[in-house]
Structures are given as C-alpha cells and as structure tokens.
Structure 1
Amino acid sequence: MTVFSYLRAMHEGDLNWVLDVEQQAYDFPWSKKGFENSLDQGLNYVFCDAEGTALGYVCVLTVLDEAHILNLCVAPKYQKQGVARMALHSLQSKLKESGFTLLLLEVRVSNQPAISLYESFGFNRDGVRVNYYRCQEWDEVSGELVEAKEDAVLMSCTL
C-alpha cells in the first residue's frame, strides 16, 4: 500500500507526468495549456510518498480568502489506498495556515465516492451546475458511445 507523505509545489517539469496521469484517469482530460494556465494563476501541488514518488496532484484557484479546487487527481495505480483522503487533509491544513477561509469545488453527480470523501471533510452540498461536465453515454439508437453532459454538485467547506 502506498502512503501519502507530503504536498510539494507543482512545477513545469511535472507537466508531462501530470498530463499522462490526467489522460489515464479521465475520458475528457485537461489540456497541457490548461495546466500551464493553472501553474500561472493558482496554487498547484503534487502528492508524494516518503521517497518523493508522485502519487497525484491538485490545482487550486485562489481569490482573496477563498480557494477553489479545480482538479484533484490520484494516479490510477495509487487509487483506493487513502491517498486522496490524506492529501485532502494536508491541503486543507495548508490552505487554512495560509489564511484561506473557504474551500470550494465541483464534483460529478455520478462520483459518489468523491462526494462521500468531501462530505467526510465537512463539505456541504450547495447546489448543482446543470450539464457542467462532458461525459459519454450509450446511445441506444446508434449503438455507440456519444458525447453527453453530466451535472456537477457544488460543494464548499469552511476552513
């Protein structure tokens, strides 16, 4: 079992690894430009184990005393090992120490494990963004996967 140990700042040299993980983890991954913009505009961290092995990452946009998680991902080979739980705890502590008072995020309505994780950290469901995420669904007429939209649950917690 892999154990999360610490967060470190994400830097440009991480982008190839981050893009690879993003493509493994999501049907509609962020682009390289998306991550480059995030590096320029927000707080970005890589989740590491004690040996410095990268386990996942998080991109956070900050505005005044609010922090908004834009993308939190654990590499598929490290999922279901508690990495997200330990990294989220560390992130909340780091943000609180830095003076942020509110943490926001969106999560797919279908991602019940993530919703449960966030609720266990004190996040509340604040609303729904209709048709927020791209997704794929089976079209009975054509017998193919087609692009569709999925709602997002808006969540927040006080730090």
Structure 2
Amino acid sequence: MTDRAALAAETRLLAPMGEADLDAVLAIETAAAAFPWLRGHFADSLKAGYSGWVLRLGGEIVGFAMVMAAVDEAHLLNIAVAPALHRRGLGRWLLIKVMDAARQAGLFSMLLEVRPSNLGAVALYQDLGFVEIGRRKGYYPAADGREDAIVMQRALVETQA
C-alpha cells in the first residue's frame, strides 16, 4: 500500500480542542510556523470561548484549527498540520470540516489572513473558494521586518436570489 493510500485508510477525526491537547498542538505549531503562537495564545483562545479543533489521525493529533465567531462570521485565526504530513490532503480535509462546523453553528462566512509568501496555503484557500478582499500592511512578523497579509473570505451558505 502506498503512503498516500495508507494515510487515506487511517481514521480521521475532528474533535474539539481541550487543555489536554495543547502540548501536541504547540508541538505542531512550533514545527510548522516561523513565528509560532505561544501556549498562552491557545489557552487564552479556549478560555475566551473560541472554537479550537484538533485533527486526529489514527488517534494521534496531527493538525489543529482555531476559529473565532464574530456576529455571523467565522474568523480562522490559525490552522496547521504537522509538517511531516504536508501535501497529503489533511489541511484541506481539516479546513472543510472546520467550515462545516462553522456553517452548522449558524455562521454565514469565513474570513482569514494568509502570508502572500505561503503559496501552498494561498492556493488551497483559492481552490476552496476563498477570494481576496483586502490586504493588511505589515501584519505578520518576518525575518526581514514585516510581511503583509492577504485577507480572504468565503461564503459558508448559499444565498437565495
């Protein structure tokens, strides 16, 4: 069985993130991001009532997402998959499941920021129907100063004409 086929055969589970998951989440974040969130960012987000999600593959946490609801919109604050498992469809699966959860919670759209230099993420978001609605100048820390953010949005529900 190929690596991709073995990965597809493993059980994927989206589960709410809890305090007990933060060590695994932080390990993924630290490995995946040049300027990672700290443990306190995740803990504070959970305490504030944001929706934290973990992707379990064969029982192991291999990805996560943090979403804030504001009025009728979901704001994707952070999402990552363990770097060893990149380019295998897990990020796409995770994002689709998180969008489904936001839709089921009655939210009408999802907003996110992404680094223009993160070409893989930009392509994934575009492929899933996100469109650029603006830019935030100097939003992200970068090795040479600051990097802009592309602001993207996608409807979660179909509107009636």
TM-score by length of structure 2 reads 0.87
Structure 1, unmatched stretches of 5+, are 138-147
Aligned mate of 1:45, from 41, 48, 53: 53
Residue in structure 2 matching 1:158, options 146, 155, 158: 155
Q: Which amino acid aligns with 1:48?
A: R
Q: Which runs of 4+ in 1 moved over 4 A?
A: none
> Is the 1:66–1:101 Cα contact (8 Å) retained in structure 2?
yes
Distance 1:18 1:5 in 2: 16
Q: Taking CA–CA contacts closer than 8 Å with sequence separation of 6 or more, which of the two structures ends up with the larger relative contact order? A: 1
Match of 1:149, SS? strand
Unmatched 5+ stretches in structure 2:
157-161
Aligned residues of 2:55 and 2:64 also touching (Cα < 8 A): yes
1:136 aligns with 2:133: no
1:7 maps to amino acid? L
Aligned residue in 2 for 1:36: 43
> Corresponding residue for 1:91?
98
Structure ranking higher in strand proportion: 1
2:72 pairs, out of 65, 69, 72, with: 65
Give the aligned partner of residue 11 of structure 1.
18
Q: Quick one: which of 106, 121, 124 aligns to 2:131? A: 124
Size of the aligned set, in residue pairs, is 148
State percent identity of aligned pairs. Answer: 36
List per-residue Cα deviations over 1:35-56 (Å, max 9, x = no partner).
111111200000122x222110
